[in-house]
Chain A
Amino acid sequence: MKAIEIKNISKTFGKLQAVSDLSLDIPEGALCGLIGPNGAGKTTLFSMLAGFLRPSAGAMFVRGKPLVYGQPPVGKIAMLPQDAALPGRQSAQQVLELLAKYGGRSGDDAKQKAKRALQMVGLGETQSVQRISELSHGQRRRVAIAQTLLGENEIICLDEPTAGVDPRAAAELREMVVKMRGERTIIFSSHNLLEIESICTHVAILNKGSLVKSGPIDELRREEKVVSVRLRSPPNTPDTLLAEIRQLEEIETADWVDDEPTIRFSLNNQKGSEDAVNKVVSLIIKHNGVLGDIERGQSLEQRFLDETRQSDG
């Protein structure tokens, strides 16, 4: 079942088209990484999901039910907004208790929920009763994350949760998110692509307000048309070898990787990829190169760069 269904959503701010006719489905239980360069529309998309911004066009559904602007998505969506501040004069415990009450919890229940959420994000007793203004940036970020754990929401949206957080805290946070994987649907945006690659089951790449690519990470990798061949010993005539590889009809592009004895080439299409690789290997041997590892696919980072460059035109 689809946890989130986004249909042809658009958002304009004056003349700026922040999100343009974007459609995206996220299955239940997925941990979906939302990636894109600055200004790609990630935060705008999150804000529309949470009801902070009114979409200019399109519709959004959570488990088939439409999200209506102005109605709080209680029980549906928990959200860590990127730049929202918590009141500095109150303690983390007080703020979370208040938010739990706003979410419909009664006094004692709200207290317990707040306490548990703070424990989950690793904030101790002392920090919980300290004024928020006295906490470090990372600790404040943890409090903000803790508020997403107050209710039994079906979907948790985390907009750059590890931004500005120290590496240890970031690792703990990732661990916490991984623990929730499968139980709840999580959308996680980050500029750290290794982070996304290491924890997410799905990925959606945004660029200039449009969806460039989406799907399970494994599938995205499988459909890679890029092959890297590492050589243990370089050929006698590297330029000639490269020219001959480029002449093969199955090859779209081919290049030496900077400072490495590696040729990376992309195929016109995935059919017959084995034949193409064999032809390249034969050419390498013909030019006295000593073959090393052959890797199919590319890192998420490389894929992201390729996709966003392509959509940039």
Chain B
Amino acid sequence: MKFFTEVWTVAIHELQQILFSVRAVMFFVVYSTMSFLIGSSYGKFLGFIDKELSDAVTPVGSEDLSNAGVSATQVFQELFEKQPQLISVFGGREVADALSNGDLSVLIWFILNLSSWVLPGLILIIGYDRISDDLSSKFSRFVFLRLRRESYLTGKVLAQWTVAVIVFGVVFLVGLLLVGQSEYVKMEAVTSSAISIWAGMFLYLLAYVCLTVLFSVNFTPAFRSLALGLTILMAFGLLSIFKNFDEFWLGDQALPLWMGAPSAYLVYATHIFLWLGLAIMRIRNREI
């Protein structure tokens, strides 16, 4: 069988297995619930901007922003001009520009922020045992008599990535619809930024799927892969507090990636290359 046929065969089976699993449903429920809880708070947040932040940027005091003819984008423009230290809090220059230009709505910004914390963990929970279980039960022996090891691994990556993209896609689309109901947002601009977010998200999800697969291929039994994976993700999260580290670690590059920053693309592509390469090397050389 050719490589791509093998990958396809593994991916289709894997997809069926994951999509109808309890964990995938849980993934969707947790992620969408959290996102939509934020969505429902969106109106309140805009109210907060309206009432509280307008004091900082306009002389109109408690006057309603819409009545005053001030848009949310103007609020952000003036906010970032007067308090530039907030730019890094919001996720860097690209994000600040997008918020100021109206290319990125606050709701989407929230969902993306949440995603950068929640998705890596959820992806790990979905995939930590997908290879590890086969290796520890030695079912892989039956498989590797028939398939190239790299096809098996690539098929697994492809399926897990597809599931993550589907879940994110549904949540994101609903988020966009909610945004569309807001009068503060230019829908055309949001739609154009959505493409950039989508492109970034493909890389983002792939990177974490590759990281999960790397854990899964290295650590058996499966619970060890999960425990170590979560520990390492948390450790990386903590490390990103340090200045130099945040330029290279995925977590800090997530929002710039979604805004289309080339440096973030480079960071993500490097991580994907590295982790997928290590995972393939490991599975090729691993005795089973």
Contacts and interface: CB of A to CB of B under 8 A. Distances in A.
Contacts of B142: 81, 84, 86, 99, 144, 147
A77 B143 CA distance: 13
B141 to A, nearest CB: 4
B6 A102 contact: yes
A54 interface: yes
Contact of A50 (B5, B141, B148): B141
Q: For the side of the interface on A, what is the size category? A: 20 to 34
B13 A98 contact: yes
Contact of A72 (B9, B13, B139, B145): B145
B9 A81 contact: no
A52 B287 contact: yes
Given A52-B287, A101-B9, A104-B1, A81 B141 contact: yes
A151 B285 CA distance: 26
Contacts of B138: 81, 83-85
B288 to A, nearest CB: 5
Interface in B124-179: 137-139, 141-149
A272 interface: no
Contacts of A70: 148-149, 284-285
A74 interface: yes
Q: Which applies to chain B's interface (DSSP): helix, strand, loop or mixed?
A: helix
Contacts of A74: 1, 145-146
A23 B178 CA distance: 72
Interface residues of B, number: 22
B139 A79 contact: no
Nearest to A98: B13
Given A52-B287, A54-B287, A87 B144 contact: no
A144 B141 CA distance: 11
B143 A99 contact: yes
A99 B141 CA distance: 11
Contacts of B143: 99, 102
Given A52-B287, A102-B147, A86 B139 contact: yes
A51 B145 CA distance: 8
B133 to A, nearest CB: 8
Contacts of A78: 145
Q: Which of A53, A73, A79, A87 has the most CB of B within 10 A?
A: A87
Nearest to A85: B137
A278 interface: no
A198 interface: no
A71 interface: yes
B135 to A, nearest CB: 11
Given A99-B142, A144-B142, 7 more contacts: A51-B145, A70-B284, A72-B147, A73-B145, A84-B139, A85-B139, A104-B1
The 10 closest A-B pairs by CB, nearest first: A84-B138, A102-B146, A85-B137, A103-B146, A104-B1, A84-B141, A81-B141, A53-B287, A52-B288, A102-B147
25 contacts: A51-B144, A52-B141, A53-B288, A54-B285, A70-B148, A70-B284, A71-B148, A72-B144, A72-B145, A72-B147, A74-B1, A79-B141, A84-B137, A84-B139, A84-B141, A85-B137, A85-B138, A85-B139, A86-B142, A99-B142, A99-B143, A101-B9, A102-B6, A104-B5, A147-B142
